[in-house]
Amino acid sequence: MSSSVLWYTTRGAGAVTLILLSCVVVLGILSTLRVQSASWPRFLTTGLHRNLALMTLVFLALHIVTAVVDPFTNLGWAAALIPFSSSYRAFWLGLGVISFELLAAIVVTSLVRGVLGHRAWRAIHWLTYAAWPVGVLHGLGTGTDTWSAWMLAITAACVAGVGMAIFFRLSSGSADPLAAARTMFRSAVDRREAR
């Protein structure tokens, strides 16, 4: 395969990964906000969240594999798996590696959520708030198309979308009407179990 095809694929898959990942983050937040309507049941939010997350991983894999096998970049597999080990733009590629590995951990733990238990799964799921911004920084720092108008528009839309979702999450408080009572009850149970 010609090197330029691989290179275009790397760039395209990177952009698609950013869009999909941002949608997944927004859907995840919408599900904690218990967003629903007559035409948008709640299982749709979680179903889309899960399936788009799996699709994100496919494009992310494409992004990484095409970058590594591209003879022009000469990255090698170590650079794709060990953060900051790349000879080429070590810092910015390292951010991408960290983001990828966090996302891999988040997806794998989600697939075995039933075995892991809800608390451990949720603790790891919070890492999304690290993985997403680190991924965005990776794109801003080393993206070939970053400063072209269309890619700037995509990045801005993704940051705005996720930013708005986070703002709503922080400002709306708990969507659970019994949150306070539940927290009190659970801490009482924990104290009892600790004894």
Partner 1 sequence: MSKQFALSVDRIKCDGRGLCAELLPELIRLDDWGYPILAPGPVPEHLIPLAQRAVEDCPVLAIALRRTQLKK
Residues in contact with partner 1 by CB under 8 A are 31, 34, 41-43, 46-47, 113-114, 117-118, 176-178, 182, 185-186, 189
Closer to partner 1 at the Cβ: 3 or 182?
182
Q: Considering Cα of 80, then 104, then 153, then 168, what sign does the dihedral take? A: negative
Residue among 10 and 45 whose Cβ is closer to partner 1: 45
Give 53: exposed, middle or buried? Use CB within 10 Å, 0-12, 13-18, 19+.
Answer: buried
Find the shortest distance in angstroms from Cβ 31 to partner 1.
Answer: 7
**Closest approach of Cβ 41 to partner 1, in Å?**
5
> Sign of the C-alpha dihedral, residues 60, 61, 64, 67?
negative
Question: Scanning the structure block, which residue is given the tokens 């395969």?
Answer: 1
Name the token pair of 132: 């997403």
Q: How far is the CB of 48 from partner 1 (least distance, A)?
A: 12
Which residue, 46 or 85, has its beta carbon nearer to partner 1?
46
Tokens of 52: 């788009």
Distance in angstroms (rounded) separating the CA atoms of residues 147 and 155: 10
**Tokens found for residue 25:** 């983050």
With respect to partner 1, which residue has the nearer C-beta, 42 or 91? 42
Q: How far is the CB of 65 from partner 1 (least distance, A)?
A: 30
